[in-house]
Structures are given as C-alpha cells and as structure tokens.
Chains A and B, each alone.
Chain A
C-alpha cells in the first residue's frame, strides 16, 4: 500500500493555511511559493495541487535522485539532484514545483502536517494500491 495526500476540492475554502504551514515548516518562510502543496483559486472554486505519489517523476530523473520509500512516498535526495527540472515537466499533476532562486524542485512527502491546519478536512492522508493512479 502507498501513503498519499488525497484532496477534496469541493471542501477547500482557499484559506491557504496548508501552504502556510508547509512553507514555514520546510523553509521557515511565509512565501507560499515554497509550499509543497498549492491552492489554485478559480472563479468560484479552488483546486488543491499536490503529489499523489504516482512515481512518474522517478522514471525520468537522470541521477536517481528520486526514490520511493517503504510507504510508497516519492522522496527527493537533494545531494544527487542536478536541478534539471525534467521531473517538473513530466509530472502529470503539475505537483513537482520550482520556486524563485531555487535549484532543486520541491514536492509533497505526505508528512501530513497540513491536515491539521485545514479547517474543512479538504486534505486527508489515505492509502491506495501500488498501481492506482
């Protein structure tokens, strides 16, 4: 089984709390560009963009910087990454991100911190079978 962040757009109120906590935790900044989860505000709704651990990016990384851990979560090894961003282009969910000034992409590692900050339970940690998209 694979652990991943499932998202429920219909519950999202676009308060951006998840982005804030993610950016603060990993980069100690309030810049939402540093979040590994992103909320795209649309006219009447919101869309939550984050990794579903599909492993597409793992296959394109030329340096094997991307690997899958025992829980099925895709992790990025900063030491091996050469910043080519081929993984960003390959991600079918557009959830491998870059940010201004960065040379290494960022992605959700299903740590679950944002869950608690979400007032509507629009994000949940769930499990799926290995080959489920």
Chain B
C-alpha cells in the first residue's frame, strides 16, 4: 500500500447473506473514527424493506430538524436491498444513495449501478452509514474477503474519478487478474466547489480493461462526500457466485431471469435497441414528439437535433459488448465510447473511455444548449463524470445561464469574458473546467438554478418573476430533460416528485399527451399514485427500472394495462418471494412502497420542505413564457384556447392570449394537485393524514410527532 496510515480499523465476522439480507448495517463516523456494526431490526425489514427504505430510516435517526448538508451529523447512506446482487434477473445491481442535499436541504435519493453495491452487500452489510467529517483526506476500505473495514489516510492521489478509480482498483486488487473484484465510489474536483455534483460507482470492464463509471447523479451527493473529505470508498469481494444472495427458491429465480434474458435477446433489436445505443434511442423520439428540451426548455423540436440522434451515437459506441452495469444484466445499456480524445481541458489529447452519453446527458449537455456535435456531448459527459458533476443539473443550469445571456441579464463582463450564446460549446467547456478548478463564472453556474436566480436578481437587478418563470428548478433541484408543457400529468410527475423534479417517479407523457389514456384528473391522479409507488419499489430492492418497461413481452400490448407491463410486475413479485421467502402480491408491492414514500414525505416536511408551496413548477414547465415560444406553436395554443377554454383567439394580442392560457394552465395544475394529494391520502396542503399513516402501519411515534406540527 502506498503511503497510507491506518486511522481506524474494524474487524468483523464474515457471514453468508440469508434470503437477501445480512441483518446488520455498517456505521462509520469520520469525526470520531468510530466504526461499528448495527443490527437490523424486524421493524426495519417489515416497514422499510431495504435500499432507500433503510437509508431513510438510518438518516432520520441521525440528523436533526435543522441539519444542513454540511453539518457533521449529515450522513451519506448507501444501501442495497434484498434483491440486490442476484446475478439472475436483469438489472439487479443497484445501490441507493441518500443524503441531505446541498441543493434542496431535504433528503435526495439516487439509484446507481456499478459493482460497489452488490460487493458491499456480500461483504456483509445491508447498508453503509457515513457520518461526521474527517480532518484529513481519507479512503474507506471494506475488505469483504477478510472481514475488515478501515479508514485510511489518502494524502497523495488524484481526485478526478477516471484516474482515481483505476488507481485504487490497481492498489487494492490482489493482482492484475482480480481487478473485477474491486469497486470504487468517488467524486471529482468540481465537487469541492459546486453543489451540482455526483458520485461515481465503478465497475471493472474486463474486455476494455478500464474502470467504467456509473453516476449517483442527482442532488449533490458528491459535495457532501467531499465535504467529509472522503476521496473514495473501496470494496473488495471475490466470492461472487450464482447463488451468493442465498435465495430460498433458486429455481424460480433462475427461470424468471432466463425468461427475461430471452425476451431481450429476441425483442430488444425491434423494441428499444438498448443493447446498441442505451437510452440514447430516445433522442429522435423526443424530437419527433416535440419533447426534447431545446434552449432551456423553450422548444421541443429542431431540425438540428437530428445531429444528436441515436444513429450518430451508435457510430461512437463500441458495439457488441455485454455492457451491463452489474452481472446478469442482459439489457446491457451502459454504452461506452472507446479511445475518445478530448479536445479541451486537463486531459486534452489523452485517450479515454467515456461512459454514455445517456439520453439525459444528450438533452442536458446537447440539445438544451444547442450543442449539436455528438463529440462535444461525449466530451462534456466525460468531464462531468470525472469532475464529479451531474450531467442533468449541469445541462439545465448552463441552459438557464445561456437564456439569461440571451436576455442581457448576463453579459461578457458578468461572465468573466465568456460568450454564452446558444451553441457556443467552447464557452460551455470553459464553464466546466472552471468548475473543476473552482474559479470564475463556472462556480456561479455550478451553484444551480435556484442560487443563480437569487444572485442574478440581487447582483444584476434581473426581474425575479422572469427568473422564476424560466429557471427550471423546483425545491432547489434542476428539472431533468423532458418537456412537460403539453402534459399536465408529467408536470405533476416532475414537480410533485419528493426529492425534486426528476423523472424517476413518473414518466407519463405518452400515456397522457400522445395516447390520451388518462384524460380526467382522477385518471391522472391514479397514475401519479401508482407509478411513483411502483418505481419506488425498485429503490427498496436494489433494482434497475429499465428492464421493467424498456423491454416488453411480445404480447404486452394485448394485456389489460400495457403501461404497467403486467407480466413483468408478476416477475418482480415472483423473484421477491423466491429470494426472501416472504409472500407478496402486486398490491402488497405497492403498499411496501407507500410506507417508505410517506415516510420520505414526512422526512421532507421535517427538514422544511414538502408543503404545497414547494410543489409549484416554474411556468416554463407548464406553458409558453415568452411571446416567441407562444408564436412558435401558435396554431396549437390558439386551438387549445378555442377548444378547452371556449375563447375565440381572433383579434386578441399574443400577450392577451398568453395570459389567458397561463391562467387556465396554472388552474389546471392546481386541480391536478388537489386530485393527487387526495389519492395519496394527504390533506389539501400535502400532509399525510394520521389515518392514512395508520392504515399503512406507518404511524410510528416519531412520524406522527412531525406530521402533527403541520395538521
């Protein structure tokens, strides 16, 4: 080992996982250098299941009502869930990271691939809880082969992830043939300076012989990590087999997994081509449907966007490799660009392998900024990852700054000489490198949209109303990369999401806008109940969402509810029981999620958000803010005025029509919120009622105590 002091050491007994659980969690305090094992109670399993549920439970008991992201008691929790780590069912290797976010002040949760989660779980832990702050740079090392946890000094090495991950893998692996048994969690230089930061979870790619990086992207986890002076978490585990998760019914698990492997084998090339281009297949679809964000979500479609279509990325992605972020993921969506040579920044001219870009990155770092060259998007993706920046928040924040530049709120004087005109990739590169160096206007952009709004109003006298309308954030988190203007349900899907506007709770645009399957408020509310609950379940178990509906059985369209993919729902019920031995059906699955979802809601309230006023979208997410937006889709909006509002647009000025449309849409949104809260068992103010909590079995004293403050 190179130049490391052991600052603390904790030997523990190695025990096999039983039915998906270790029944203990790992607690590490970086201030006191205390490391301990904590038992997992029946209550935790019964009510919180695992994964995000365990994370939130542990964090709830660790923080105070007043805790902010950089307080020592704030935690980074990483948990895995009972289904995590099985190698049989596609998409079973996810970790869930939570912390009190520097962007939102409430808990944020990220679902991330890579080998760290399963290896840490099989090393003996159902969750890892990191509290306190170190006074020097450290690495936390879990040796799952020997049963030792160490806090090690880390004075020397690089911080940027693409270098650090490989260096640590080489250092901690037994020999060069066993790199695949080590995984690293790290962030990057920018996370020292900007909250729009992320964590990278590695997996060793045996074919490419590089460390691949998957991101826990949203909400600023990287900044909390670096604030604790953690350089990396490293795990080593060499014992993985086809039954390490010790399921009670291996046969069912294997057969169910095999069935989906075969579906993917037969149907993926005709369906979403995830194995060829990953989620980038969405770019052309979104552009066709006017849903791809362009110029800070002003427009959803542009001829130029074809330059970012998946066929362009397919030329860059190495084809034909099993690109799963965990073993057994035959969906293999983690595409990579090999031999990429950046044209800017500290790694200019060096050959690197870049993970992605995924759809969100193409939207954020490409179309939303009018950057149409796929290689520039790949390069921004590379630097975001290695610097520890979230590509989504980066994209939305840059787009906001560029729009402010367009309106003269910003100018070269204010940006330190940067011309932030749409499409100026060189300036965007400079912004990202400034974030990596912690200097210049890049650091302002890296504060995220919410802070920028405050700064631009205060320092530059910008109109706060305009900033509010075009600043694509809610609760402090930037919107991810879909246009929700024409889908009321998706406006709710985004803005009612507990952690802030991320599409992982609900993606209803096609159901709502394209197929008109959920016409009434009640229909939309039902969808905004069911899908967030169903998707929450993946986070409780350690699963990936993609193999649920990015591949569908051949006969799915003929089922009662194709949007739910009923056969796959049954698969999940079956593998849950096959692993844990506990009975489940599709209704109890939803109840498992509802318990944790409501707990998270109350947690948000406790930390100061989660009320109705926090669920308001910026108008850009709802309708046209500017005349040019209205006029660009005038036919659509005029028609809506006539058909939905019974108003004749003839003879009215654009401003008048915009005001009428706005009043209507904002009212519709409020009616939607009423319907959704009611469906979720919450008051009109968005507070879970005691009766509802009781009916879920979540009337825990600490929860009721918080709720009572708001009733």
Residues in chain A within 8 A of chain B (CB atoms) = 59-64, 81-86, 88-90, 98, 100-101, 103-104
- The answer to whether B261 and A83 have CB atoms under 8 Å apart is no
Question: At the interface, yes or no: B316 with Cβ under 8 Å from chain A?
Answer: no
The residues of B that contact A84 with a CB separation of less than 8 Å are 87-88, 242, 257, 327-328, 330
SS of B interface (majority)? loop
Query: Quick one: given A82-B242, A84-B328, are A59 and B254 in contact (CB under 8 Å)?
Result: no
Q: Is the CB of A64 within 8 A of B207?
A: yes
How many CB-defined contacts (below 8 Å) exist between A and B?
Answer: 67
- The answer to whether B241 and A100 touch across the interface, beta carbons within 8 angstroms, is no
A98, B258: Cβ atoms closer than 8 Å: yes
Q: Which of B242, B250, B262 has the most chain A CB atoms closer than 10 A to its own CB?
A: B242
Chain A: CB-nearest residue to B320 = A59
Q: Is the CB of A88 within 8 A of B258?
A: yes
Q: Is B240 on the interface with A (CB-CB < 8 A)?
A: yes
Given A81-B242, A82-B87, A103-B243; 5 other pairs, CB 8 A cutoff:
A62-B206, A63-B180, A64-B206, A64-B207, A88-B258
Q: Does B251 contact A (CB under 8 A)?
A: yes
A89-B262 CB under 8 A given contacts A60-B322, A63-B327: yes
CB-CB contacts below 8 Å: B230-274 with A: 240-243, 250-251, 254, 257-258, 261-262, 264-265
- Which residues of chain B are within 8 angstroms of A83 by Cβ–Cβ distance? 87-88, 241-243, 254
| A25 to B18 alpha-carbon distance, docked (Å) | 33
Whether, in the assembled complex, B144 has its beta carbon less than 8 Å from a beta carbon of chain A, the answer is: no
- Measured CA separation A86–B251 after assembly (Å): 15
- Residues 324-362 of B contacting A (Cβ, < 8 Å): 324, 327-328, 330
Residues 168 to 209 of chain B near chain A (Cβ within 8 Å): 180, 206-207
Minimum C-beta distance from B238 to chain A (A): 10
Which 10 A-B pairs rank lowest in CB-CB distance, beginning with the nearest?
A83-B242, A103-B242, A89-B261, A84-B328, A84-B87, A82-B87, A62-B322, A89-B262, A82-B327, A89-B265
Chain B residue numbers with a CB within 8 Å of A88 are: 258, 261
On whether the beta carbons of A104 and B242 are closer than 8 Å, the reply is yes
Task: Identify the interface centre among A59, A63, A82, A103: most chain B CB within 10 Å of its CB.
Answer: A82
| A59 neighbours in B (Cβ, 8 Å) | 320-322
A58 to chain B, nearest CB (A): 10
Task: Find chain B residues with CB under 8 A from A104 CB.
Answer: 242
Least distance between A49 CB and chain B CB atoms (Å): 16
**Chain B residue at minimal CB-CB distance from A92:** B265
Q: Could you tell me the distance between the alpha carbons of A60 and B261 in the complex, rounded to whole angstroms? A: 11
A132 CB to nearest chain B CB (Å): 20
* Complex Cα–Cα for A85 and B264 (A): 13
Instruction: Closest A residue to B206 by CB, please name it.
Output: A64
Nearest opposing residue in chain A for B275, CB measure:
A60
Q: How far is it, in angstroms, between the C-alpha of A61 and the C-alpha of B498 when the chains are bound?
A: 38
